[in-house]
Amino acid sequence: PLHLRDENQMHRYVRINLAKTTKEKVVEYFQNEGYRLFNSSPVGEPKPPKLFSKSKTFVLDSHLPDLLVFPPLTDLHDHPLYLNGDIILQDKASCFPAHVVSPAPNSKALDACAAPGNKTSHMSSLMGNTGTVYAFDMDMKRLDLLKTLTAKAGCTNIVAKCQNFLDVDPLDPQYKDVEYLLLDPSCSGSGIINRMDSLVDHFALCVGHDSAVKGANKEQRLENLSDFQVKIIMHAMKFPSAKRISYSTCSIHKEENEHVVAKVLGQQDRFLLAQRKDVLPGWPRRGLETPLLTKEQSDSVIRASPEDGMNGFFVSCFVVDPSASPIPV
């Protein structure tokens, strides 16, 4: 297996912004510029042909329909399609959550810890720029960056609010139809090995600055983080129309990932873990085994690793139990 520790060896991923353009148009644009499109491998990560390491080649991603894969070191920061917001340069793993939560067009979605907004604009893209995405972040500067980046991406269905998500009232009538919630809260950032997004210090953004992530030593810090992450998920579950909630981190620690999922499953019975068949079933790397989850539950969550050519990442999805009684509003 590959052990990629260096961002110079990592594929470059290009997300097509469906809020503004189509896959066909973007592929054609690159081809007209002399880029050659190779076939993706049928299973697993693209196993590019030798030529793939040459510049001016690309493949269609084999798991996500709105993603193109370019060879390591391809730099598209000055590309016209990046500058005009038709494409977003985003690590593959960080494109998983929006696909997993999969908001329907014309629906109401919510991004609880949203800045700088890559996943917010991804939800907007998957919704074809229809419906509404409420985007919260408690950091004004980061929220300003979210507003700038989502405006550049042409997203007109995002309502950005500088607010602590834990203080948002789930029973406020304006949120009564929110069905899809994407939770990507502050984490240790231990999975990050590259900084594809040159505009922001991704590491600082993931780790956050609030007291929840501080602690005397690593164990204490992870415990504080995991308590905070559980709180965010439990709060999201109070939204009366919530039916699908993704929880993700760019951490490799079980304490922030599988263990958080297990704690949430133990603390409430309104939401179940979505089954593997509904959570990118074709993606091979699944959750780590832990006595706190059944084998089937570990198999229902996703991990990504630098060995897959991307940052370390974790994604899980909760779905409302159809037999649960409705929350009175």
| Residues in the annotated binding site | 113-119, 137, 184
Q: Cβ of residue 24: shortest distance to ligand SAM, in angstroms? A: 26
* Among residues 210, 255, 289, 299, the one that binds ligand SAM under rule CB under 6 A: 210
Q: 155, 187, 250, 317: which one is catalytic?
A: 250
Q: Cβ of residue 300: shortest distance to ligand SAM, in angstroms? A: 22
Please, which of residues 106-165 interact with ligand SAM by CB under 6 A?
113-119, 136-139, 142, 164-165
Q: Which is nearer to ligand SAM, 27 or 195 (CB)?
A: 195
Q: Which is nearer to ligand SAM, 186 or 297 (CB)?
A: 186
Please, which of residues 167-206 interact with ligand SAM by CB under 6 A?
184-186, 205-206
Q: Which is nearer to ligand SAM, 256 or 258 (CB)?
A: 256
CA-only gyration radius of the chain, Å: 19
* Residue 59 binds to ligand SAM (criterion: CB under 6 A): no
User: Contact letters (x/-) for ligand SAM, 284-313, by CB under 6 A?
Assistant: ------------------------------
Q: Cβ of residue 284: shortest distance to ligand SAM, in angstroms? A: 23
* Residue 239 binds to ligand SAM (criterion: CB under 6 A): no
Q: Which is nearer to ligand SAM, 185 or 309 (CB)?
A: 185
- Our answer to whether residue 187 is catalytic in this structure is no
Q: Which is nearer to ligand SAM, 179 or 184 (CB)?
A: 184
| Positions marked catalytic | 250
Q: Which residues sit at the interface with ligand SAM, rule CB under 6 A?
A: 94, 113-119, 136-139, 142, 164-166, 184-186, 205-206, 208, 210
